[in-house]
Amino acid sequence: MGLENLKTILKNNERSFEIKSPIIGASGTYGYDCEFSDFINLDCFGAISTKGITLEKRLGNEGERIFEVQGGMINRIGLENVGIEAFIKEKLPILKSKNIDFILNIAGSTIEDYEKLAKIADESKIKAIEVNVSCPNVKSGCLEFGLNPDSLEQLTKTIRNNYKGFLIVKLSPNTSDIKLLAKAAESGGADCISAINTLRGLGIKVEFDGTKFSKKSVKGGLSGSCIKPCALYMIEEIRSATNLPIIAMGGISKLSDLFEFMSVGADAFQIGTANFIKPSICTDLAIELSNFIEKNGFKNFEELKNKIKEIK
Amino acid sequence: MDKIKSDFKGEIINTETIAKDVCKIDILSPLKTAIAGQFISVLCPNTTLRRPFSIANFENQTITILFKLKGEGTSYLKKLKKGDNIDFLAPLGNGFTIENKKSLLVGAGIGIAPMLFLKNTLDKKNIKNYLITGFKSEEEIIKGSDKTIVGGSVLDYLDEIIKSENIEIIYSCGPTPVLKGISNISKKYDIPSQIAMEKVMACSIGVCRGCVIKLSKNNETINASVCKDGPVFKGSEVIWD
């Protein structure tokens, strides 16, 4: 069963990225090759953004990596991944065999890392990449690019010069003015903005055993429904700064969330933390959205989106 | 197509308090297969993340889980009554690989849950086994073992049992210090061990890399996720912090 009315084309000038549905599995929550396929119906599936891939394989952070909070969670995975070479050799064929559209999420510590990753993506004819310039969980590197407009513009330009496909830049919310970052990405040659990455957070649990106190803490990126108001604010800000397509994320788990994000300018969506609660959420939401469009007499997702954007 | 792994809806057919702050629930569902060491991941409406529970038995399409009241997830489970529905992913992870060897089963605290399932499985296969479990106090004892220790550590009793019962393999589940101890004892006697690990999980199906531990395989250090690569690992391969 396909969902014809959900076809989505993200477009900037001559470059575009076409997906079956505007609902995308967010990076870090869908593995490399859609390991969720035991749990979902792939026919209704938009695309996945792969786990963040670096040049070399990484083992990620030591110690506890997950901390649950009210309405969300904090993670400090630290970009554990197989590295680009193993991705191209082992994971890419699986994605192709499953016929899943995907966005390659890339991360690096230096501008040269990103340049090499962009070249490899280009040579491998990968249709879309999402540049992680905003991972809060690694000590050096990507967050620094992500928070300074000048270095972000320079980084985006370097990637643009080495990659001909659809270039998405994923922005950090850990900034005083996200509009400047959106403009910098656009000036550097980005085709699309995705936002928001996780917010910096600190989870603490103090326990008392009757005689002494102990403390557990995890510092990392906060995600889940608790960050939605922040994400909505940021998407509205980004929309006021650029006309590029926006892939919105941050606490999305239901149909009304999609409407809210469309109303501030989103063109597509990523689902992250909600996948951990309900592995079929991306396809469930796609079916629900498709049924809503059909039942209420809209032609397709594009028309629905424009109607919602027009609301004053 | 029927998928073996899935998001199941089950019906609670029995609930029971079996020790201090420890409950047992039986769930009837379409789940077709499960082995000792595997777990289910329960959707708890009052928490952000699902909660993993070792399967304590699986017979006649009925999954049994045991849980100790600890936080919001288990307080939700405690309130469930006969006839209520429950949403869970199953069967998750890799269970114990059963060998036809005289087996020592070691459970510490609520770690007895998969050991009871394993004992049941070994008994059905007529594999000689001995289950020892340890609890902090009398009132916390969960029944079903060949030997139960109250206070102290189960590890202190293993030398004697290994010798007197001619043990050829050890299986265990419990807190990290116990599992580390099992790993050391199995090295000392040069017998294999399989241990079921526990770690805070987010996705419970291997994608988020939130629950990784380090293993040593062919002299290389690798990450393994407790939820998908485990929860059962060879004791000799785990690198302890």
> What is the tally of structural domains in chain B?
2
Q: How far apart are CA B152 and CA B177, in angstroms?
A: 13
- Given a cut of 60, whether residue A256 has pLDDT beyond it is yes
**Which residue range(s) make up the domain with B54?**
6-92
Smallest CA–CA separation between A45 and chain B, in Å?
17
Answer yes or no: is B226 within a domain.
no
Q: For every one of its 241 residues, what pLDDT tens digit does chain B have, with 9 covering 90 and above?
A: 445 677 889 999 999 999 999 999 999 999 999 999 999 999 999 899 999 999 999 999 999 999 999 889 999 999 999 999 999 999 999 999 999 999 999 999 999 999 999 999 999 999 999 999 999 999 999 999 999 999 989 999 999 999 999 999 999 999 999 999 999 999 999 999 999 999 999 999 988 999 999 999 998 999 999 999 999 999 999 999 7
The verdict on B110 and B30 lying in the same domain is no
Average pLDDT, integer, range A150-157: 93
Q: Is A135 a catalytic residue?
A: yes
Q: What is the pLDDT of residues A42-61, one digit of tens each?
A: 777 789 999 999 999 999 99
- Tell me what ipTM this predicted complex has: 0.90
Judge: B211–A66 Cβ closer than 8 Å, yes or no: yes
Residue at which a domain ends, from B159, B175, B196: B196
Q: What pLDDT band is residue A209 in, cutting at 50, 70 and 90? A: confident
Which CATH number characterizes residue A113's domain? 3.20.20.70
Nearest residue in chain A measured CA to CA from B87: A278
Q: What is the pTM of this model?
A: 0.93
The verdict on B44 and B128 lying in the same domain is no
Distances A98 to A42, A101, A269, B78 between C-alpha atoms, Å: 8, 9, 22, 41
Diameter of chain B measured on Cα atoms: 51
The DSSP secondary-structure symbol of A198 reads P
Which CATH number characterizes residue B56's domain? 2.40.30.10
Nearest residue in chain A measured CA to CA from B7: A39
**Which residue range(s) make up the domain with A292?**
4-310
State residue B1's pLDDT score: 40
A77: closest CA among B129, B179, B223, B100? B223
CA B131 to chain centre: 14
Q: A83: how many CB neighbours lie within 10 A of its CB?
A: 14
The verdict on B137 and B55 lying in the same domain is no
In the A/B pair of chains, how many CB contacts fall below 8 A?
87
The verdict on B159 and B183 lying in the same domain is yes
Answer yes or no: is B239 within a domain.
no
Q: What is the pLDDT of residues A92-143, one digit of tens each?
A: 999 898 888 999 999 998 889 999 999 999 999 999 999 998 655 555 555 5
Answer yes or no: is B227 within a domain.
no
State residue A136's pLDDT score: 52
Judge: B48–A68 Cβ closer than 8 Å, yes or no: yes
The verdict on B141 and B78 lying in the same domain is no
The DSSP secondary-structure symbol of A172 reads P
The encoded tokens of residue B31 equal 């789940």
Chain A contact set for B216 (CB, 8 A): none
Nearest to A35 among B7, B206, B221 (CB): B206
Q: How far apart are CA A89 and CA A85, in angstroms?
A: 6
Q: What is the pLDDT of residues A164-188, one digit of tens each?
A: 999 999 999 999 999 999 999 999 9
Catalytic residue among A34, A44, A135, A142: A135
Q: B104: how many CB neighbours lie within 10 A of its CB?
A: 25
Report the residue of A276, A282, A284 to disrupt the B interface, i.e. the one with the largest count of B CBs within 10 Å: A276
Answer yes or no: is B201 within a domain.
no
- What is the C-alpha radius of gyration for chain B, rounded to an integer number of angstroms? 17
Smallest CA–CA separation between A137 and chain B, in Å?
13
The verdict on B102 and B176 lying in the same domain is yes
> What is the tally of structural domains in chain A?
1
Residue spans of beta strands (DSSP E) within chain B? 6-19, 22-28, 39-42, 51-59, 62-68, 85-92, 103-108, 129-135, 147-150, 169-173, 193-196, 212-217, 220-225, 232-234
Instruction: Burial-class residue B85 by CB neighbours within 10 Å (0-12, 13-18, 19+).
Output: exposed
Smallest CA–CA separation between B24 and chain A, in Å?
23
Average pLDDT, integer, range A27-51: 81
Chain B contact set for A224 (CB, 8 A): 48
